[in-house]
Structure 1
Amino acid sequence: MVHFLHPDLSPRTIVPPDARKDALGYCVVQEEASPYSLVNICLNVLVTNLEKLCSERSDGTLCLPEHWRFPQELADRFLGVMTWQGKLTDRTVSIFRGNQMKLKLVNIKKAKISTAAFIKAFCHHKLIQLDATAVDPDLPISDIIHGLCRNSWLQQNLQCLLLDSTTSIRQDSRLLLFGQLTGLRVLSVYNVCFHSEDLAHVSQLPKLESLDISNTLVTDISALLTCKDRLKSLKMHYLKCLTMTKPQILAVIKELKCLFHLDISNHRQLQSDLAFHLLQQKDILPNVVSLDISGGSCITDGAVELFIRQRPAMQFVGLLATDAGYSDFFTQQGLRLVAVGMRNHPLDLPVQFTASACALNLTRQGLARGMPVRLLSEVTCLLFKALKNFPHYQQLQKNCLLSLTNSRILVDVPFDRQLSSEQTAQLKEELLRAVKELLAIVKQKTTEKLDDVTLLFALKALWNLTDESPVACKHFMENQGLAIFIQVLEAFSGSAIQSKVLGLLNNVAEVRELSSKLVTKDVVKHVSVLLHSTSMEVSYFAAGVIAHLTSDKQPWMSCDLQRSPLLQDLYVTIQNWPSSSCKMTALVTYRSFKAFFPLLGNFSQPESQLWALWAMHHVCSKNPSKYCKMLVEEEGLQLLCDIQEHNEADPQAQQIAASILDDFRMHFMNQQRLP
């Protein structure tokens, strides 16, 4: 989670993305962007035809025609295009030998060139900046530095050097001569074999202002005190080898009074509380503009808010993977980059396309769990607007729709809109059309016996559409949905498919006027078998279908299906389940507990009651902040108390009810202890 404060000020080192200039002018989708510049078209032609245009030296390397000359800016761009296209090799990089090219800002990121080729091509130029991040192992970091130090001009004038290693940091040489590069202002040695002794040399550089020592072998950062009066930016993410105590680390940081930017974010494996202790310091980082403490443990909204209020110049705070960021203080202060771009440029396709890709990456892999609901709600509305404004751009539509399938957005983000009667009617029509089309996809895939990602997404979409939506459930039943889903169960045996089918049948079974239509031989046959599935999720959802269908005796009386053996089987199965606090592969979520309440109040059917209690305890133990609040708002606590005190209640049901109430009390006691 990233929060930008004071929107009228822009962070010093953070530049909002420009889709038109991204990646040296290479927009992701050419037809969706402005035309390429003439310079870029020419450079692309040159790179594509480089072999034809150049002659070959005796050593097999390429040489430009003698009369060719490139001015510095054009040479830098030409090299950038070659690097971006992966065309920089020992054979091609030789065109930068000699004086036909005058380089200043060199980018060889991810290049596959040798030490000899690097030295011959670049170390005679008057470079101001070199980005050599993630270069091939054939070009070791130590060789890059030795090559640069061979040129006295570079020693005094190279200002920016960006390095990292794609190989193990312990495999590189320790002979790093950073101390000779006295002109350096910016240095990144992320993931490099860089020790405390190296830090001591670097800290003596007379012009150093920005330093990144993340994921290095530094054990002691005390050497930073040498440059305390000039260091403005420090990144020390994931310093796993630090041997200093927290008070010692904080004592060093406290002396760095010129820092504008500090990154002490943590890798998820460290679980460090350094940031927690830093936030308690009143006389530390007086001039800080941006602070990244993502991944830190024990961080609260109160502590972060107090820290920021004491430092009014702050514009950025990183809180991803922490327990902070939910306070109104953050959501009312400024905007986030993606939301800003989408809102300010609703009809600019490159902006919307780039933003949709950003939103997709920021909401996947569990990152959405750490974002405030208000921010997610805002971005979700903007995604809907992008879908409407650009209906014919498939990749943008895909980005938006995949973002909207995020479970946090589907479950937690509120959409409170008042619709006119015409809009409501239109919505019902669109819902009916969506159910029909999704069922058609499922039927086609089932006929072809093709269990691909399209089938899974169609099943998931139908499951979500019918969740607490009697209208959608009715559409499902009226369009032969039950027959199609029976075919799915007969055609596929994978637990991912079975759980989605049973999840939807749970939604239908919760609707009283429709549940009786599910009491058929096919449904009972499949759910009774799947009740004993080795997949916990499949068994759980099968049990839910049985619990709901058997709660009404009437449909069973008019057919020859046996209800009692099914209930007995349900009871025995639940008895054999692990604790309701167990972890399932799929995260079970509910928008409401109201569908469970009729089951909880039915003491004549303890089997269904037991399943409902197990389900409620499971989600309450996984997400107490959400579901304990739901228990209060929906007045479910009294039902749990009734079960706990009822003389004829099942002992295991009473035990689970007591566990839920204990978890509830513990959660709110913890909430009251928070500052």
Structure 2
Amino acid sequence: MAGGDLEEDSPCPLTDTVINYCISNVSTFCDVDSDGKPVRIRDDAYLPSIICDRMVSTLSKQGAANDDMVRVFCDPSKTKLQRVNLSQSPITNESIHNLSNHKLVELDVSNCALLTEDCLRDILTQKNLQVLNISGCSRVLQKYGFPLFDFPLQKLRSLNIGFIELSATQLHLLLQHLPRLTSVDLSKVIKNGDLACLNIVKDTLKSLVIHDCVLVAASLEYIYQLSALRHLDISVNDQEKLPLTNEILKQMVKSLPCLSSLDISGNTMVYDDDEEDQPDSGFRPKKGKHSDKKQRKVERMQVDKSFGDRKDEDDTETSPINEHGVRSSLEGLRGLTAPLQFLGLLGMEECELEYLPAVRVTGLANEEQILNVIDVYHQRRDFLLKGLNAYFDLLRVIECFKPVWATKVILVAMKRYPKDNQVQISGSASLYHLTRGLYKKHMSIHLKQQIIIVLLTAIENITESVTLLRNCGLTLFNFSIPGDFQFQFERVVKNLVKLALTEDRDGLLQRIYVHMCNSIVCHVEGDQKKLVGKLGIVRCMLQLISDRLEKEVCDEVLETAWSTLWNVTDETSENCEMFLDGNGMNYFLQCRSTFQENPELLRNMMGLIGNVAEVQRLRPQLLAHADVFIDLLSDRSDGIEVSYNAAGTLSHILSDGPEAWTIDRPTRGEVLLAIIKAIDSWTMDTKRNINYRSFEPILRLLPVYHTPEVQYWAVWALANLCTVLPNKYCNLLEKEGGLDRLKAMRDNPRTSEEVKRLIKVTLDLAIGKKMRDVLDV
């Protein structure tokens, strides 16, 4: 699949970027208290509606909207709110009261579970309100009509009271006060099929949503009277399905001439015996009241199963097209004068028909239908989950053409249901595939950051689901570490540390997150390396090592834990000290004794010890184990790695002078002889499994003339590294002033002949490399 076949992600709009920055730094527009919490809008600030509305909406989407935050926006002399979206926020009646200071045009407090019937009076003071969404607020209308009978929102045009328990009497009374409504959502409110309450708005209603309501055949007669209707939603999820026939659909099309959006998802198409005599379109069963599965299977073979554009061929003999040019394989919709803008067919086999008369279709027949499901039904959890699961199944078997769109709609779904395990598992599983390979290349930095935020939120909200934690870990591993995480570095590290200690049956969780910890510390330096230590990575790795010792298990996690400690202590004395204070040397000795047959483990451990030895104030603690290090000088289980690091550790200890050697055994002289013997046994061109970012710890040993053996190890190390990787290490040596220091040693009469020989080898390599670079230029 060519890269050009995929849609590109556009950059985040500047306004959104500014608003997100201000929300993350509230002092830009608020006075804050000692804890950094916003108190009031600053005296020199004024937020117009176009900014203020979007700020509140963004806070709500980020889960940061609450009573304290809404209180900040309640001063109409500093802020102006018109269109307020606080959906799913933990606000109380207090926020609704504070909003009464503003003249609102739109108010969405859907699924705000803490609102009670006492907030209704404040809502009803909003005389300019045109749009009101209190869907899912089960208590707000609880006492409506008992005794409150008025609903004085004369300008209201759109009302959503879905998923609220209302009696038929309450509903009739409410709608009687709102004769100008053009849009109403009564999802799951109608229990007996009685739609007589709509008579008051039959001439004005343009949008009717009666999703998951109990409907009967008589209900349709009321719907047919809504001649101005443009959008009709009679989809069902867990209610009894409404048996639809082609005749019913024909009557809808005839009675509702303005209809441009129809959702019949979840219902059942019934094909009557009488239809057998109708012209055969080749797209419906010929017999039986219900679809015959075998017949359907044959019919599916006739449709275009590709996931690209539909067929454009015009076969005049079989093409179901009407006089208006509308092509429909669904006979009941052939009377349309223009294609629908939307057609909902989720859960219906009709979504697999070849010609569907709509710009957008929801179903499970192809990529676009499935993404429409996720996009359109993000407020309907069960429908949404069907789409998420179907898209994951699709991603595993084909290359998809809408990865950016898919990512965006999946993120919306996961943000809306942050604590829903099934939504998070399904969404994160798809994000794993969408953040790999070619798909990843088409995502903006902003989109990548949104993915990371959603995954971190999932990790923090749902801690008991091993499947989810695996999905999130594997997906995070698809990003560039640590570059893509810098914008929320501390949050990432804290979660990695927590999850690295989370056990599951096959140990995959720990393997994922320990490797991520190692990747993080491999690529940070300076203050960030100190920070990861403070955030607990050193303690975490020591805990993992302790657990493995207790179980006597040497596995990938144990090796990686030691590797992580090796990397996190590199030129970071604070982390070296944490290692020692955390009983690190005892763990070192126990691992060496318990897991003697693992040379890679020993190499990692000795690399770490070498880092500790570079810190002068910590060397006395290592001196107590000099007998272990001298024994390791002769170790060849992993080439020269262990021997090299043991010699380096002893060299750093010896560099402190004879007076610092405070132990009786082994003697300092014995150690010096053992180091010379070990170095002489090494081969100069031996390749190393080590990565020096700086030579400074080695260069510090060059002037140690009181102990030539120390100089011998240091210069051998430089000569070896420059021999094996001249392009990298010759440049590093010159950059850090190493050439001048080596020349000074070469000219010093106190330098031994053997050390001078190694200096010459190193200088020849470095100078030769430099000359070659000049000639290449």
The answer to whether the superposition gives a TM-score over 0.5 is no
TM-score, reference length from structure 2: 0.39
Structure possessing the higher relative contact order (Cα contacts under 8 Å, 6 or more residues apart): 1
Structure showing greater Rg: 2
